[in-house]
Amino acid sequence: MCEKPQKERARVLVMPKYTLQYVCGHSDEEDHPKARIDKIREKAAESLCPSCWTDQQNQIANEVSWLLPPLEGTEKQVTWAQRLRAKAMIKILNAKAAYGHDETMSLVLNDFHQDAIKQSLAMWWINNRNTRLMDLVSDYHSTRQSYYQFVIENRFQREVDALVKEAQESNRDPFDISAEQGLLGAIMVKNDAYYVASFLEPEHFIEDLHQRIFEVVRALITLGKVAMPITLNTFLGDQDLGGITVSRYLARLAAEAVGITQVRQPALTIYALAKYRSQMEAQES
Ligand SMILES: [Zn+2]
């Protein structure tokens, strides 16, 4: 029982000093556990020494910062915060690229980016240095949730109305099977695509099988499970659809899927045509 702490203390006491050779040509004497010294030496040989690394980080920060407003604080705070801000800006740009397909997230990230640029207190950057960027973004979103909801619904409504009007004027079919297929395939290939189309309900699809597929896909994804043709098969049953089985059909949908960035248009089309159909029904009755 009492052996373990003693052992640990002994190891700390005998931790030897090693000379590390860095890629910049500098060397440094440091304490390291013997067991890991080979790995540490290997890493040092490919890295800048601590002081060259700091210089390099400051230089990157200066390059990013010349476009940004000057920071307020003591000289030490400003130097540190400039580095933190530069790193955060790069993360924001990466997040904007990664969430480009998600309309709400793109709006939020854009606004967050603009506000971050205006954030000129060095201490703000220092205080938030250990907070994950996406946590800051999600806080930012939740304090303005009703605003974003309003913006998205308004955008969406105008486009849907335009699509309904177009359907009325063009005398087109009041359904679009290939939009339904493309969307369902995209969701099966990349489950993230579901969130772009999460405003849809199963009854918005014209095909019975598509309604069932969407229902199962939605249930699986909102439960945090993966929705792939194989998993869907067990829920849908592999009956013959007349020349093609359900499993073959699902595989075909996945193979012919549109990319995640192209999901929004078929989703809006499906929604608009469902609206158009219910308008036509109302007129007939
Ligand atoms: Zn160096």
Q: How many domains does the chain have?
A: 2
d(CA 56, ligand 1 centre) in Å: 10
Q: Look up the domain containing 111 and give its range.
A: 68-143
Residue 204 is classified by DSSP as: G
Q: What is the CATH number of the domain that holds 278?
A: 1.10.860.10
> Which has the closest alpha carbon to 183: 105, 253, 103?
253
- pLDDT computed for residue 21 by the predictor: 93
| Six token digits for residue 82 | 């400039």
* Helical (H) or strand (E) element with 114: helix 103-118
What is the CA(51)–ligand 1 centre distance, in A? 6
**Rounded Cα gap, residues 283 and 279, in angstroms:** 6
For 126-145, write each residue's pLDDT tens digit: 999 999 888 888 888 878 87
Distance CA 115, CA 120 (A): 10
pLDDT for residue 6 is more than 70 = no
Secondary structure of residue 29 in the 3-state scheme: strand
The rounded Å distance from CA 48 to ligand 1 centre is 5
Does residue 12 register a pLDDT over 60? Answer: no
Instruction: With respect to residue 126, please indicate whether it lies within any of the assigned structural domains.
Output: yes
Q: How many whole angstroms from 80 Cα to the centroid of ligand 1?
A: 19
Q: How many other C-beta atoms lie within 10 A of the C-beta of residue 44?
A: 20
* 128 lies in the same domain as 183: no
Tell me, yes or no, whether 210 lies in a domain: yes
pLDDT in tens, 152-178: 777 788 889 999 999 999 988 999 999
The mean pLDDT of 197-219, rounded to a whole number, is: 92
CB contact at 8 A, 217 and 190 = no
Q: Give CA–CA dist 60/22, Å, rounded.
A: 20
> Domain boundary at 121, 143, 165, which?
143
Sequence letter at residue 232: L
> How far does residue 221's CA lie from ligand 1's centre (Å)?
50
Is the pLDDT reported for residue 2 higher than 70? no
Among the candidates 143, 174, 198, a domain finishes at 143
Identify residues whose C-beta is under 5 A from ligand 1, the ion. 24, 26, 49, 52
